[in-house]
Every structure is written in structure tokens, then in C-alpha cells.
Chains A and B, each alone.
Chain A
Amino acid sequence: MFILDTLLIGSLRFVLDKVVAAAEAEMNDDTALREQLLEAQMRLELGEISDEEFAQIEKDVLARIREIKGQQQGAITMSSKDKISGVEVESWKSEG
């Protein structure tokens, strides 16, 4: 029973860790947006999009980056320094 508990709690914790990491990445990391901008630049150099189209994409991407930065300073304050130290799990049956 003890082993099972450890496994259960361990994997639960792993999953939760991942969820938090993903959320963190989504919020902190503007890599995806930067890549989007780079791709637009590539297409501009290839003549696939016009200067105006590029300017529009650039404007959108920059706006979203600003938005993310704004959110980071607002509601949730979780930086890469913060770690999950443990997860509490209650089980009713084990007592009884």
C-alpha cells in the first residue's frame, strides 16, 4: 500500500509539475512569438509578403509580447525561481 501511495503521489506530482512548467512557459516565454516574427522577416526577404503585411505582423506580434509582459507583472507572480516544494494529498480510506 505504501509503495502504491508513493507511486501515486509521485506521478501526480510529476504531472502537476509539468502543468505548471507549461503554463509558465506559455506566459514567460515569448520564443514562439519571436520565431513568428523571424518567419515573417524571412518571407519579407523572399518577397512572399509585402512591407505593409510585414509591418502588420510585426505590430501584432509586438503587441502580444507587450501583453505577456504586462500580465507577468500583474495577476500571477511566479518566476522561474519559484519551485513546487510538495503536493498535499488527502486520502479518507487510509484512516479507516
Chain B
Amino acid sequence: MGKTTCAAASACALSALRRGKRARVLVVSTDPAHSLGDALGVQLAASPRAIRRGLTAVELDAPRAFARWIGEHGAALGEALEHGTWLDRADVDTLLDLSLPGVDELAGILEIARLADSRRYDHIVVDTAPTGHTLRLLASPQTVAVVAGILDALQAEHRLIREQLARVGRPEAADRLIARLAEQARETGETLRDRQRTTFCWVTLPEALSLAESEDGLAALETNGMHAAEIIVNRVLPAAGPCPICDRRRADEQRVIARITRRLGRGRTLRIIPASLREPRGVAALAKIGTTLSTTEDAEDTEKKTGLALRVLRRPRGEERVPFALSAPKGERTVSPESLDVLRGAKLLFVGGKGGVGKTTVSTAAAIRLARAHPDRRMLLLSTDPAHSIADVLDARKEAIGDTPKAVRGGPANLFIRELDAARALAARRVDLEHALDEIAHSFGADASAGGPRGAAELMDLAPPGVDELFGILEVTRLLTPERESLRSSARSSARGGGAPRASEYDVIIVDTAPTGHALRLLELPDAAREWVQVLLRMLLKYKSLVRPGQLAAELVDVSKSIRELQTILRDASHTRFLVVTRAAEVPRFETERLLTRLRRLTLAAPAVIVNAMTLAPGRCTRCRATAATERRSLAALRRRCGARSRECVIIQTPLSAPPPRGVRALDRWARWWTLDRAQADG
């Protein structure tokens, strides 16, 4: 979408010299897959780095930030846990040492609160993670408040004893920490809602798909009492000479922009950033964009400046008959997804990459082609991105696709589509877990703490970040392996419910993942979660004379087994593959290279990189030719990384389509035009 570009550009503009004064600006990236450094053209790390006078940049390292927070407050936190439960110091320390898999959002909000507190900066510009997880970040002050509440309850009894017996009224470290957390949660929440102090800029692309996501995202913000005052439409094609592709794209973009204005424009400033031929990298290029962003002008002025007309253009006659214009050369050796060697025999296929590169389009097209080619196999296209967009790519109504697998109208009958509702996956286990927690709380005698129905429910609301995603990904295990007999499977099957196809499950699952950072987090989850489960099991065994290992133990054994199965599936290269989707541009390429490295470290097979939306037939259009030249350079660099002769990782190109393919038929036809990178194939 260009969030990073816009954030960096705004920061550059804010820190510019104005009337002899310079504001102190900090730009911080909270996306676990950072690209702020790539955009600014400098190496960034977890400690702030001065970019130029008045401008500092930092890429938040969430696990490190959280570790530092624990380092500072661990003792006090441990005290509260020790006072409120029967756990001894060693247990508490073991728990505090564990890594919290979904800590990014929590650490992000604590870090922003800390930086805002320090008063060292006049402005803080936050470059956020993609939609789904940013909404979680913004909701995390509530999580912090719940944590403070629970800790307070744990501490309550101890406090009472101290006051009444020892006659000590002075708050100790634990009390101070609890008070501070509650305070921080309240303040941060207020700051985020305060329109004077916080501005949200919503960055989007002039594409129907992005519009749908923007509508959902902005609505979610408003529900949380936050208001996005600005919408930035990035990479809008400026006017230029005739070209079958560009003209078509321009017309579509303008229709989308008109819809954005109509549906979302009220009470908001709309800004348009024209697509530049060169990727805006480095402070100078960004500052130039920043000036357009910081001037106060309304949509009409922008219109004059960029030569864009914000009105709906009538579709030219005859356009309806051709669903889309493709930038694909004739007579090229094409490889549609079903004929790809790297997909043969795959049971579990992850499709991932940077936000906005076209993961959903690629995964949906691949799913349709694969399902058509193998009508005897049951396939599931599963979206794990909290900001789902399969429905939009299929041009289907939002309600037509959901957490219950459904076949697509007009699509292959053996293809089912599901947009995973992680919260629901957790909710299905919730009743069991709540009972289990109650059972434990009663045995531990900590009635005021986690005990009582309210306590357990609250603990579950808190949903240790990432736990819902864990149960979400564990669904994959359940769907790929035949139902096994567990101590409690009979009790659970009724709770899981849903109209899902019976235990026969699926032969192939294609997972449309969240953007890079969170896709990796999802894949790393099983390891972290296994560690948690083991620590908890060990504690239950240690205290078995006090608490009989009941429901919670059975629940944990069950989870532990599922995790083990998932780990086995993930590591099995004959069944599991990761397809990386990218664009032929520098910033996405850097992220792709880092992603490939991380996947290798996770011992996950990544046999193909799909370079999406390439201008393969530039014709005589100067703009298309320039774009094609830039793309070729970027592709050459990627080729070097993937290894020209290596069979390890093939490069697949997909042609630019105007408009992007939407609906079963268009996707099906578009996927016939995928090509194997020739330079690599010949090499």
C-alpha cells in the first residue's frame, strides 16, 4: 500500500526547517517485517538512529522491547504472581522467561507509550503493520488494562494481610507496577482517541480490493472511537499518452477514487500520490512526497495538480466484452499453476509475501486451476489474514464466504473456501478452557484472582496475544489429518460444530497468509507454544498432590499432540511448500530476500517466487517501457538471489492485468498466462 513510504515521507516533511525552527520527529515502524530502513535507504535497528537533524528513525524489535520491559518490571510482576497463586518463585521465573509469541502488538503499544512519555520528540510517526494486526495493536490498551486488573486481584489478598496484620500501608513494587500499567492503558487509550493529539492516515491503493479493505478498516477504527482524518491514495497513474493497458488502468483507478470519495471521503482529507517511475527511496525523494502530504489542500486542489478527474468515467463501448487487458507477450511458454513441478504432490501450500503484492489474487487463481485439474481431490483455500479479502477477489458478497467452508459459485465443485475466524477457533475451545481454569483456580484457593466465573472469562478475553492464531493454525492439522481418538474428542466435537465437511477433511490446503511479518509469526507459533505447553504440564505434575491433573491437563495434552503433528507436517518438504509472492521493485525484493532466509531457517520448503503483475508487453507506451526496464533490473537482482541454475527456487512471472482479475472466470483465464522466468529456465 505504501504505508512505509507515506510514514517516512510525512516524517521527513514534519522535520523540515520551518520559520527557522525544526521540530523533533521520530518515525517508528511497528510492522514485524520492517521496511522503513529500506525506504529511507539506511540500516535501521532497535535503537533510534539519527537520519538528519530533527529526524530520528527506529524499527521496533518487539521481542526485545518486551524482554526489556520484563527486565525492568519482572521482579514486581513476579511478586504479584507469587502472592496470588501457589506457584513458587522458580515457577514464576520460568513463566516470565518464556517468549510470548504474539507480543508484537502489546510491546508496540507499550513502546509508543514510553516514547510519548519521554517528551524527547514533538511528533511521533508510526509506520504500522498491515490492517488486521494494526487493529489489534490499537485495541491493546484494553488488553493492558485487563492485565492490570488481573494482577490487582492477585495482589489484593496479600495487600489486605499486609495492611491489617503488619500495619504496613506503603505500596510495594508490585502495587506501583499495577497502578502504572492501569495508568498507561488509560492514557494511551485516551491519546489514541484524542483527535487533537493523534491523527490517523489511511493509506490505500486505487484498486477495488483495497477499497473494500479500507471500508472495513475505517469502520473498525470508528467503532473503537478512533478517527482517520486523512485518506492517502498511493501510486495513482498520472495522465499520459495512449496505451491500451495504462488507459484501462487509469479509467479503473479513477472509478475507484470516485468511490472512495463518495463512500469514505466525508469529513476526511483525500490526498493523492501519483505513481512515480522511480521508487521513492531516500530522504530527498521522500521529503518531496512529504510536502504534498503536509500541505492543507482539499481533494479539488489535488485534482488540479495531478490532472486527475475525480468523477466516474463512462466505460468506453466494447470494454465490457474484454474482461481485462493483459500485458503479456504472445507466443510465450506459459506455465499455469497446475502444470508447475514445484506444486506437485503438495498437501499444504502457503502463499505469502509483503502487503499489497497480490497474495490473495495469486492463491485464489492457483486454487481454482489446481482444483479444476484434479477434480478427485478435495481442496480448501484458507485465509489466515485477519483482514480477509478472498470474497473481494472472487467478486462475491462478503456473507457468501466465511468461517464455514463453502464452494464458490461458478467455481470447481471440489474447491472449498474458508476465511478463518481465529477468534472463533479460540471460542470453540473457550468453554473447555474456562472450566479448566476455574478448576485450577479453585484448587489453588485464589478465589479473588483467576477464580470465579468472571475471572476465567476475563482471562480468556485477554486471550494471550497470538493464542487465537495458534488455535487457528491448529485447525490446519485437524483438517489434514484423520480424526484421532483423544481423551476428550467426543466432548469437543459438539463444541466445534460448524457445517464443515465430515472427518474426511481435505487432500490439499492452500493457505492465503497475512503479510510477511505475521505469516512468519504464525509459522513460528508452534515452537513457542509447545514450550509453553510443556512448562505448564511440568507445573501440573509438580503440584499434582495439590491439584489433581484434570481437565486442564487433558486439554494441554491434546494441544501438545496437535502442535507436534503440525510441526511434522510443516517440516515435511514433500507435503508442505511456501510460495513467495512479490513485485519486481526494490523494497518488495528486499523483504522477499529476508523472507526466504527466515523460511530456510524454519526449514520450510520455498521452491518458488512468484513475481506478480509484471509489465511483460510494454508496447510503445513510454511509461510501460520505463516500468518494464525497472522491473527487469529488479528481477535480475532477484534471479541472482534465487540462483540462476538452481532448481531450488524457480521464478514465475504473472502478467499485469488491467483491471486486476476478479471473479472465478477472470482468475482462471489470468492464471493461464503465468510464465516461467526464461533467463532462469534457460540457465
Contact = CB atoms under 8 A, between A and B. Distances in A.
Interface string A79-93: 000000000000000
Interface string B536-561: 01101100100011000110110011
Contact of A45 (B487, B534, B548): B534
B537 A42 contact: yes
B533 interface: yes
A46 to B, nearest CB: 6
A42 B541 contact: yes
Contacts, number: 33
B553 A38 contact: yes
A53 interface: no
A95 B201 CA distance: 100
Given A38-B549, A38-B553, A45 B541 contact: no
A42 B548 contact: no
A76 B553 CA distance: 34
Counting chain A CB atoms within 10 Å of each CB, the highest count among B487, B554, B557 belongs to B557
B537 A39 contact: no
B537 A35 contact: no
Nearest to B563: A45
A43 B541 contact: yes
A41 interface: yes
Interface string B515-544: 000000000000000000110011011001
Contacts of A41: 487, 557
B468 to A, nearest CB: 22
B411 to A, nearest CB: 41
Contacts of A45: 533-534, 537, 556-557, 560-561, 564
A42 B549 CA distance: 9
B533 A39 contact: no
B549 A46 contact: no
Nearest to A34: B487
A41 B553 CA distance: 9
A81 B262 CA distance: 73
Nearest to A39: B549
B549 A35 contact: yes
A38 B538 contact: no
A39 B541 contact: yes
Contacts of B544: 39
A87 to B, nearest CB: 33
A42 B564 CA distance: 14
A4 to B, nearest CB: 40
Interface size range of chain A in the complex = under 10
Contact of A46 (B487, B537, B548, B561): B537
Interface string A31-64: 0000100110111011000000000000000000
Given A35-B549, A38-B487, A39-B544, A46 B554 contact: no
A76 to B, nearest CB: 27
B149 to A, nearest CB: 31
A35 B560 CA distance: 18
A42 B540 contact: yes
B553 to A, nearest CB: 6
A32 to B, nearest CB: 10
Given A42-B557, A45-B533, A35 B548 contact: yes
A46 B549 CA distance: 15
Contacts of A38: 487, 549, 553-554, 557
A38 B541 CA distance: 11
A36 to B, nearest CB: 10
B534 A46 contact: yes
Nearest to B486: A41
Contacts of A43: 541
A46 B538 contact: yes
A16 to B, nearest CB: 28
A39 B487 CA distance: 12
Contacts of B533: 45
Interface string A3-47: 000000000000000000000000000000001001101110110
Nearest to B554: A38
Nearest to B533: A45
Q: Which of B533, B537, B544, B564 has the most CB of A within 10 A?
A: B537
Interface string B74-118: 000000000000000000000000000000000000000000000
A57 to B, nearest CB: 14
Nearest to B538: A46
A20 B556 CA distance: 36
A45 B544 CA distance: 16
A41 B548 CA distance: 14
Contacts of A39: 541, 544, 549, 553
A46 B553 CA distance: 12
A45 B564 CA distance: 9
A56 to B, nearest CB: 18
Contacts of B553: 38-39, 42
A45 B534 CA distance: 8
Contacts of A42: 537, 540-541, 549, 553, 556-557
A53 to B, nearest CB: 16
Contacts of B560: 45
Contacts of B541: 39, 42-43, 46
B328 to A, nearest CB: 53
A43 B541 CA distance: 9
A39 B548 CA distance: 10
A38 B533 CA distance: 15
Contacts of A35: 548-549
A85 B87 CA distance: 46
Interface string B407-428: 0000000000000000000000
A39 B544 CA distance: 9
A38 B553 CA distance: 8
A80 B564 CA distance: 41
B542 to A, nearest CB: 11
A21 B492 CA distance: 32
A39 B540 CA distance: 9
A43 B554 CA distance: 12
Interface string B487-524: 10000000000000000000000000000000000000
A38 B561 CA distance: 13
A35 to B, nearest CB: 6
Given A41-B487, A41-B557, A42-B549, 8 more contacts: A35-B549, A38-B549, A38-B553, A39-B553, A42-B537, A45-B534, A45-B557, A46-B537
Interface of A: 35, 38-39, 41-43, 45-46
5 contacts: A38-B554, A42-B537, A42-B541, A42-B553, A46-B534
Interface of B: 487, 533-534, 537-538, 540-541, 544, 548-549, 553-554, 556-557, 560-561, 564
10 A-B pairs with least C-beta separation: A45-B560, A41-B557, A42-B537, A46-B537, A38-B549, A38-B553, A45-B557, A46-B534, A42-B553, A42-B557
